[in-house]
Amino acid sequence: MTKILVVCGNGLGSSMIVEMNVNSILKDLGKEADVSHTDLTSAKTEHADLYIGSEEIIGNIDDGKKNIAKLNNLMDKKELREALENNL
């Protein structure tokens, strides 16, 4: 199953909201994935098929090998939907 990891600085607030939005959008798209959220430090060692986060945060784990979706606005569901459609 596809693993999606939503990342924010502390892994408590914005990433949890985005995780809920990801699950809602996946349901609309008829797709399934294992979605979770975490902080930046943990994300560096955790494997996922897709990492999602704000551009300034997620850029810290971009090693050129990870599939990363950088969002300008974490709360913009349209941008999030486009990121999911383009990366799954």
Q: Is 8 a catalytic residue?
A: yes
Count Cα neighbours of 58 within 13 Å in the Cβ-side half-sphere. 21
Which pLDDT belongs to residue 11? 79
**Residues 79 and 73: beta-carbon distance below 8 Å:** yes
Check 6, 7, 8, 69 and give the catalytic one: 8
Cβ neighbours for 20, distance < 8 A, ≥ 6 positions apart:
none
pTM value is 0.92
Number of domains present in the structure of the chain: 1
Residue 59 has a pLDDT of 87
Which CATH number does the domain housing residue 61 bear?
Answer: 3.40.50.2300
Beta bridge partners of 5: 36, 51
Inter-residue contact 59 to 29 (CB < 8 Å): no
Enclosing domain of residue 26:
2-87
Regions of the chain where pLDDT drops below 70: none
